[in-house]
Each structure stands twice: as C-alpha cells, then as structure tokens.
C-alpha cells in the first residue's frame, strides 16, 4: 500500500486534536455507531483535564488506496521537545492557524523547525466560522512569517485550505462547499506530500517516541528508514556516539491502524511502527541490523531553560499520605522520565537526597510533579530557577523569551507597566480586533516566573499570554520579587477556626480549619513584607459567665486556594512546596525558627 507520513502542527488551542478526530471519523477508522470520546488522541488524565496535548501520538487512516500516518503534536512551547523529534519522522506537515488569532509564538517555533528540515507545509486556516475571523489577513501573516523564517521559494508556494475541524470540513474557498467534508484535505495530502524516501541497505530506524507497557515492556516508535524487520529478528541499538548499547530480538512489531495498534508480520521501509523487546534503546538511539555500525543523526534539541530541585519530603507529616517517599524511588522515577523526554535533564546532588530537574518551563515541570503525585509519590520542590550561561568573555547570559499578550485595550497600560518592572522590552503593539491589543515583549525568563496569575488578576481574566524561548542575552539585573511576607505556624496540630478568625487582620489564609499544620509550615500571606510566626491552634477560652455555644460560629473569609503551578511560582528561594497525593502545602526550607535566623544572618553577611 502507498504511504504518506504527516504531522499536524499549530499553536496551542488552534484545533489539532479536534481535526484528527474528524479525520478518523471521515476516513472510516471509527464506526458510525462506535462510542468515541472527544479529542480521542488526548489519552492521558492530565491531558483531558487541562484540554491540552502533552505527548505526541501517532495514528493512521486509509484514504483511497493510500495509508496516511498522522502524528498529533503538542502546542505548548514547554512540550516543544516532542515536536522537534517528530519532524524527523514525517515528510509533510499540516499547519493549522486560527482564523482570528493568526500565527502565534508556538506557530513560529514549529514552522521554523519544519522549514529547517526541508518540509513543505500545507496551511489550513481553521475555525473559519468564528465571528471575528479574518482569513485573508491571516494568510498574509502566515506568508510574512514564512518569509521571515527564510523559507525557500518552494516552501513559500504553499497550498491553502479553509474550514472548521470541529464541524469536519475543509475547502479551497472560505465559504465552502461544506458537503465534501475533509476530502479536499485528504486529496491535498496525497498530492502535495511526497512518498517516504526509502534508503538502500539493511534495517535502520531512529527512536522517536518511548513508552512503557506492562505486558510488552519498553516500546519504541519510529520510522523505518531502510530495509525491513520481522518479529524475532536480531537487531542492535547504537547511541549517538556509535556505542553499542545492546543486542536483542524484536518480540513484537506494532503498526498504527486507526485508534488501535495491531501486531504486524513485517515492518517495511517508510512506515511508522512501534517495536518491543529491547530493554535499553531510547529516544534518539538507532535501532539497526547487526551489520550496521554507524548511528543515524538525530535532530538537535533546544536546551532546557528552567531548573528545579526535587527533594525528599522531610516534614513532620512525611509518609502519612503517600507510599513512595525514599530518594531511591524518586531517583528511578525521574531517570525513567528523562529517558523518554529529551527536553528534560536530571542531575543528582552531592548529598544524594535531592535532584536538579531542568526543563523548558514551569508547565512542563508542574505536569511531571502532578503525574508523580497521582502515582503515590511524596516530595518537596523548590522555586523554579533559570539556567544561566557564560560566554567566552565570562559575561553572564540569561534566557530571554518572546512574550505575546492579547488583552483588552483598557488593561493594556497595567500590563506594560508590570512587564517593564520585570525588565521586559516592548517590541510591538498593534490592534488584534474586537477592542483588543496584541503586545509583544522580549522578557527575561526570571521575570515571567509567577506572572501568569498576576496577569489574570490585573486584566480580570481576559488576557491570553503565550511565551517562547528567544535567545540568551546578557544578564538584565535584579528584578523585584514578592512584596508580601508569610504567616508561619509556630507549633504542630490541627488549625482551629477561632484562631484563624483572629488572624484575618494579619492577612489572607492558605489553609482551612481542621488542616494539619506543623512548625515552620506557611499558613497565610502577611499584609506586610516581613515573615510572622503565629499560633493557629489557639482555641477560645471558655468561662461560666456566658453560654459555651455563644459566638462560637465564627465567619471566616474563604482561604486562597494554592494550585500546584501557583504555589511553585509564588514561593521564594527559602521556601518549598510539599507535594503529596492528597495535599499541596507550603513550608519554609528550615522548619526550626533558630535555623531560619542563622540562615538569614549568613545570607546578610555574604551580601
């Protein structure tokens, strides 16, 4: 059967996974009466809850006499490592662009990578039924983007389709016809995307997606570049430097057939398949015939920009809510994650009790922590720090991000002010339709940590922020951090409503009555800039002068709910977030007040 391999790329929320749903339905991969979840490719719990794609996944459809392998990719810049690897596996890309928003930072990122590899994109203007759609302007913006990214003449001559992935139609004209469904898109893929290039020689494949299976063990997905492979065939795994990692037999070859993966008898050159049976091969390794000795070249991956410390939980409540608490178990889990996620790196500290985990952004690390806590892990994590570099002259360099903020005109002033306080430079300001403005900044990654929640507060939840790594530039100087101090519990026990009510004038709380607290745990936000130790266990003294029940029913202001991302971005360098399967607590790094004072003195002397 003829083959085509394509990836669907776009900015976050521009409709990639929804389009794949429609492609599966219209190609007959899903029966008419089959019950299928919406966004069927987002199979992970966290993906479904957040409505985002985190891991790239492959599927396939048959159109006319051709099998089309489709890879659905993430849209968030934090998961860009997934997209960079995938582009080696495909011969064409469908670039989806929202008909109102136009090309956004992540569009620029993925298009730049695709053009560099030499792919010729098909541009699909999606969500054409939006009331604020501006299809012609968006096409011009896409063309300008391609030109700015040094596209060749061939790549600039891209075909354009208009339509709605949700309603399941695409057409060469914005007004339709809609009756043909996605047939114009399928036909264009067959016509525009070249057949896979098949090289001469024995079996060779580069690992692109890695996953673990309870029955088959390690499964590696990739595209077969040359030759063919059958189950029980002996192959070897080469690392990027040519070292033989292992030699073993293929136990099973799986191919993507609609929503299912089915075992096949032979993997042929050009097809995207998953192989099982090897215990050491990973992403970017070459899976080859025993006669091959040179590894295949893998695409270089952009470096991580944010790092965090993962520590063993040593709080008084450690081990009461989770069952995976030791450093050995945490270490094995982190190394397993880094193996399959090339945008992540893990280093062990000298004392073996903490690990430095580096990634693309807070969201990527927060998703990893959320996954671990659902698996029963307990750990403490520090505030995210940016990865600094030094050039040949010894100048300190820091990562700078391109930030695009879409905001209502009335709130633009406060956004510009807050961003300038964070050492950001504005590079563009233009209207984006519907009394909204698009502000583009170049800002240090340091200044953006924790800004998302502040931005939503300042703009009453109407702003949309998108970020993308831009470059390393000289250090921009100190940035003012959090202005409030914290309220710290001075004893262990259960918080009492009466005590919390008495402390309300000191600042808002982050815990509820009845919550377990310990010495050194953060229970609230102080109105002033210093930290204050408070007693949240103090009950009301009862006397026989008035009835015991009188004024016991105190009315409390609801506490501030600290989600994982908010907690990570809010804490300071001397604070930690304690993460367990049931709770997210904030605490001081040093629980003992005397140790905290000693640490403050040392810091002041060093400064």
- Report pLDDT digits (tens) over 6-15: 988 888 777 8
- Report pLDDT digits (tens) over 250-265: 999 988 887 778 899 9
| DSSP line for 436-493 | EEEEEEEEEHHHHTTHHHHHHHHTTT--EEEEEEEEEEE-----------EEEE-S-E
Q: From the annotation, which residues make up the binding site?
A: 13-18, 126-129
* Mean pLDDT value across residues 401-428: 90
Residue 406 has pLDDT above 90, yes or no: no
* Mean pLDDT value across residues 195-212: 86
Residue 409 has pLDDT above 70, yes or no: yes
* pLDDT, position 553: 67
The token pair at 469 is: 């790594």
Specify the pTM: 0.78
Angle, helices 412-421 vs 451-458, to 10°: value is 150
* Mean pLDDT value across residues 118-138: 90
Half-sphere exposure of 123 (CA within 13 A, CB side): 25
Average of per-residue pLDDT values in the chain? 85
* pLDDT, position 378: 92
Rounded to 5°, angle at Cα 131 from 125 and 136: 40
4, β-bridge pairs: 68
Residue 488 has pLDDT above 90, yes or no: yes
Residue 36 has pLDDT above 70, yes or no: no
Residue 490 contacts residue 518 (beta carbons within 8 Å): no
- Report pLDDT digits (tens) over 490-523: 999 999 888 898 898 999 999 999 999 999 999 9
Residue 304 has pLDDT above 90, yes or no: no
The token pair at 42 is: 């987002």
Residue 138 contacts residue 130 (beta carbons within 8 Å): no
- Report pLDDT digits (tens) over 442-468: 999 888 887 877 888 888 888 888 887
Residue 538 has pLDDT above 90, yes or no: no
* pLDDT, position 72: 80
Residue 54 contacts residue 74 (beta carbons within 8 Å): yes
* Mean pLDDT value across residues 208-216: 79
Cα(38)–Cα(18) distance, integer angstroms: 8
Task: Name, in order, each residue with C-beta under 8 angstroms of 362's C-beta and a sequence gap of 6 or more.
Answer: 78, 306, 384, 449, 565, 568, 569
* pLDDT, position 520: 92
3-state DSSP assignment of residue 427: strand
* pLDDT, position 533: 92
Closest to 453 in 3D by CA, of 568, 576, 557, 307: 568
- Report pLDDT digits (tens) over 77-96: 666 666 777 788 889 999 99
Domains of the chain by range and CATH? Answer: 2-192 (3.40.50.300), 204-288 (2.40.30.10), 389-474 (3.30.70.240), 486-576+584-606 (2.40.50.250)
Residue 31 has pLDDT above 70, yes or no: no
First-residue to last-residue Cα distance in the chain: 69
Residue 547 has pLDDT above 60, yes or no: no
Q: From the annotation, which residues make up the binding site for GTP?
A: 13-18, 126-129
Cα(454)–Cα(417) distance, integer angstroms: 13
Distances (CA, A) of 500 to 141, 409, 489: 55, 40, 11
Residue 30 has pLDDT above 80, yes or no: no
Local confidence band at 350 (pLDDT 50, 70, 90 cut-offs): confident
Residue 577 has pLDDT above 90, yes or no: yes
Local confidence band at 41 (pLDDT 50, 70, 90 cut-offs): low
């Amino acid at each position: 059967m003829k083959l085509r391999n394509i990836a669907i790329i776009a900015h976050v929320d521009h409709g990639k996974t929804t389009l794949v749903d429609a492609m599966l339905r219209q190609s007959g991969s899903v029966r008419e009466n089959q019950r299928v979840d919406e966004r069927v490719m987002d199979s992970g719990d966290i993906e479904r809850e957040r409505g985002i794609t985190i891991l790239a996944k492959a599927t396939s459809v048959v159109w006319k006499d051709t099998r089309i392998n489709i890879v659905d990719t993430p849209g968030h810049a934090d998961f860009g490592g997934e997209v960079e690897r995938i582009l080696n596996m495909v011969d064409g890309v469908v670039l989806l662009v929202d008909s109102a928003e136009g090309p956004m930072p992540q569009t620029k990122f993925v298009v730049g990578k695709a053009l560099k590899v030499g792919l010729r994109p098909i541009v699909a203007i999606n969500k054409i039924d939006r009331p604020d759609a501006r299809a012609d302007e968006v096409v011009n913006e896409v063309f300008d983007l391609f030109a700015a990214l040094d596209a060749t003449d061939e790549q600039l001559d891209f075909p354009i389709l208009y339509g709605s992935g949700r309603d399941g139609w695409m057409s060469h004209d914005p007004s339709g016809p809609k009756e043909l469904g996605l047939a114009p898109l399928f036909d264009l893929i067959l016509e525009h995307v070249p057949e896979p290039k098949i090289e001469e020689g024995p079996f060779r494949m580069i690992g692109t997606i890695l996953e673990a299976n309870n029955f088959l063990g390690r499964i590696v997905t990739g595209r077969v570049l040359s030759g063919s492979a059958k189950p029980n065939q002996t192959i070897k795994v080469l690392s990027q430097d040519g070292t033989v990692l292992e030699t073993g037999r293929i136990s099973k070859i799986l191919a993507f057939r609609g929503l299912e993966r089915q075992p096949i008898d032979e993997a042929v050159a050009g097809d995207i398949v998953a192989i099982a049976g090897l215990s050491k091969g990973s992403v970017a390794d070459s899976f080859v015939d025993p006669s091959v000795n040179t590894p295949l070249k893998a695409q270089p991956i952009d470096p991580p920009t944010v790092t965090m410390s993962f520590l063993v939980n040593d709080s008084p409540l450690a081990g009461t809510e989770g069952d995976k608490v030791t450093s050995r178990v945490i270490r094995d889990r982190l190394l397993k994650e880094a193996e399959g996620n090339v945008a992540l790196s893990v280093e062990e500290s000298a004392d073996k009790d903490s690990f430095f985990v580096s990634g693309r952004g807070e969201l990527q690390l927060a998703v990893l922590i959320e996954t671990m806590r659902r698996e029963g892990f307990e750990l403490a994590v520090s505030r995210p720090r940016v990865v600094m570099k030094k050039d040949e002259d010894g100048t300190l360099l820091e990562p700078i991000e391109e930030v695009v903020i879409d905001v209502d005109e009335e709130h633009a002033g406060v956004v510009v002010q807050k961003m300038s306080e964070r050492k950001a430079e504005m590079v563009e300001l233009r209207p984006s339709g519907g009394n909204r403005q698009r502000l583009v900044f170049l800002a240090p990654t340091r200044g953006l940590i924790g800004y998302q929640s502040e931005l939503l507060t300042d703009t009453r939840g109407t702003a949309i922020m998108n970020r993308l790594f831009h470059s390393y530039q000289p250090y921009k100087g100190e940035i003012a951090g959090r202005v409030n101090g914290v309220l710290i519990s001075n004893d262990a026990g259960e918080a009492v409503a009466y005590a919390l009510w008495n402390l309300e004038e000191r600042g808002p709380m982050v815990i509820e009555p009845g919550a377990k607290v310990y010495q050194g745990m953060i229970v609230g936000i102080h109105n002033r800039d210093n930290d204050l130790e408070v007693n949240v266990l103090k009950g009301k003294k009862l006397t026989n002068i008035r009835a015991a029940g009188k004024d016991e029913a105190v009315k409390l202001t609801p506490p501030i709910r600290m989600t994982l991302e908010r907690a990570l971005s809010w804490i300071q360098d001397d604070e930690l977030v304690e993460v367990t399967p049931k709770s997210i607590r904030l605490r001081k790094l040093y629980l003992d007040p005397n140790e905290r004072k000693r640490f403050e003195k040392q810091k002041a002397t060093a400064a």
